[in-house]
Copies of this chain bind each other. A is one copy, B any other.
Amino acid sequence: MNHFNFHDLEECLNKHIPANDLGEVKRLLFGRSDDHAIELHSETLQLAEKYNFDARGYAFTAEEEEFRKPRIVRIAAVQNSIVKPTTETVAVQRDALHEKISKIIQAAAASNVNILCLQEAWTMPFAFCTREKLPWINFAEDPEHGPTTTFLRKLAHRYKMVIISPILERDTDHGDQLWNTAVVISDSGNYMGKHRKNHIPRVGAFNEASYYFEGNTGHPVFETRYGRIAVNICYGRHHPQNWMMFGLNGAEIVFNPSATTAGISDPIWLIEARNAAVANNYFTVAINRVGTECFKNEFTTGNGKAARHEIGPFYGSSYVSAPDGTRTPCLSRDRDGLLIAEVDLNLCRQLKDYWTFRMTQRLAEYGAGLTRAAQVDYIPQIIKEKEKPTS
C-alpha cells in the first residue's frame, strides 16, 4: 500500500473499526463520533454521477440562542483535476476547466450552497514547478474583468451564490506584476474584491516565488450576505499568525484553497486548518486539487533527483473544520469532489465565549514581541546556567 493508491482514510476506518469502537475513534481523531451526513438534492447526486465527481454533505450545529436566530449557511469546497493536456493552448485548457466547474457549481446550487470556493489557481495546471514563464503566465487574468471572473459572475448571479475564485492575476496598473489571487464574487454577481496570497513557498517543486511575490492586500474579510469570509491561500496555512489576522478582522469562515502533493505535506494536512479553526473560533475549509499533472519539458525539484515531467499526485482530501475542533470527513484523495457543509455561524461566537481566547490572547504584548523579534539585533530571551555545578 502506498499513497498513490490509497483512496480514502475515513472509508478505511469505517470498514475495519468495529461499530462499538468506531464512534470513540472518530471522536478522538475528528472531534465527533458521528459524521452528521446530510442528504443532498437528487439533482446534485445525478450531476455527480453523470460528470464523475463525488458529492458529500455534512452538518455542524450550534446551540439555540435567545437573541440571535440560527445563521445557517451552506458552504462548499470543490476539488478537481485539470481536463486537457498541458500541451493544449491556454484558452483550450482554461475553457475546459470552466466547463467542468460549471457542472459542479450547478450541482452545488441544486443543494442550496450559499458560498463556494474553488481550488488554488483553478483555471490552470499548477505549472510553477517548471519555472518556465511561457505559456503559463498567459493564464493570468484581470481579477475584475478577466474571462474567469466574467464567467463566474453569471453563475454567482444565477445561483445567488458567493463564489471564491483563486486565479493567477495580472496587475496591469502596477508594472504588469503577477499575483496569486483569490477573487470574491458576491451572491448578486458583483466583483467584491480580491486577496493576494500572503506567504509564498520556496519548497521542492513549489517554485512560485519565481512568478509572484508575497501579497500586499493585508488580511481582508469580505462581508457577504451570508457571513464574513476570508481566504488564506495555500502556503499561508503554515503560518498561524496569518490565520490569526483574519480572525482579528472578524472572519467567520476562512477558506484555504491549496495545491499540495503527497509526500510533501499530507501528514500535516489534517491538522493545520483544523488547528486554525480552534485557535481562531471560525470555520475553515481546506481545499486541495487532485490528479497528477504532466508537462512537456522536464524539470527538477531541488532534491537531487532526476528531472521529471510530472507533479503530483495532488491528494485532494478537502475538508471543513468547525470552531469546536470537529471536522467533516475528507473528500477522496484522487477524485473530483464537491464537499458541502451546512454550518450555523452562531457557533463562532459561542466558542469565543466558551474558550475566551480573544480575552486571554495578550495581543498588545505579542504585537510588541513580534516587532522586537523582527529587529536585526534582537536578543532572544535565553537563560543559561549561572551557578557552578554542585560537587
Chain A residues engaging chain B, CB cutoff 8 angstroms: 1-3, 6, 9, 12-13, 16-18, 20-21, 23-25, 27-32, 153, 157, 184, 186, 188-193, 198-203, 214, 218-224, 228, 235, 238-241, 243-245, 248-250, 266-268, 270-272, 274-275, 278-279, 324-326, 354-357, 359-364, 366-374, 378, 380-387, 389-390
Chain B residues, CB < 8 A from A373: 245, 248-249, 363, 367
Overall SS of chain A's interface: mixed
Chain B residues, CB < 8 A from A369: 218-219, 245, 248, 367
- Bound CA span A266–B24, Å: 11
Since A12-B17, A363-B374 are in contact, a sample of 11 more A-B pairs with Cβ atoms closer than 8 Å, ordered by chain A residue number, is A6-B21, A12-B21, A16-B16, A186-B385, A186-B389, A190-B387, A218-B381, A240-B241, A240-B243, A248-B370, A370-B370
Chain B residues, CB < 8 A from A275: 240, 268, 271-272, 275
With A356-B203, A381-B219, A389-B189 known as contacts, the answer to whether A12 contacts B25 (CB < 8 A) is yes
Q: Are B370 and A363 in contact (CB under 8 A)?
A: yes
Q: A33 — nearest CB in chain B belongs to which residue?
A: B1
Pick the residue among B238, B370, B378 that contacts A366 (CB under 8 A). B370
Please name 10 pairs of A and B residues whose Cβ atoms are closer than 8 Å in the assembled complex, sorted by A. A1-B23, A9-B28, A13-B25, A153-B390, A199-B360, A199-B362, A240-B241, A241-B244, A272-B279, A364-B374
Pick the residue among B23, B239, B270, B272 that contacts A28 (CB under 8 A). B270
Chain B residues, CB < 8 A from A370: 241, 244-245, 248, 363-364, 366-367, 370
Chain B residues, CB < 8 A from A383: 184, 192-193, 220-223
Pick the residue among B16, B202, B223, B384 that contacts A18 (CB under 8 A). B16
Pick the residue among B220, B274, B363, B366 that contacts A271 (CB under 8 A). B274
Q: A203 — nearest CB in chain B belongs to which residue?
A: B355
Chain B residues, CB < 8 A from A16: 16-18, 21
Chain B residues, CB < 8 A from A221: 380-383
Pick the residue among B30, B201, B360, B390 that contacts A202 (CB under 8 A). B360
Chain B residues, CB < 8 A from A270: 28-29, 271
Chain B residues, CB < 8 A from A272: 275, 278-279
Q: A390 — nearest CB in chain B belongs to which residue?
A: B189
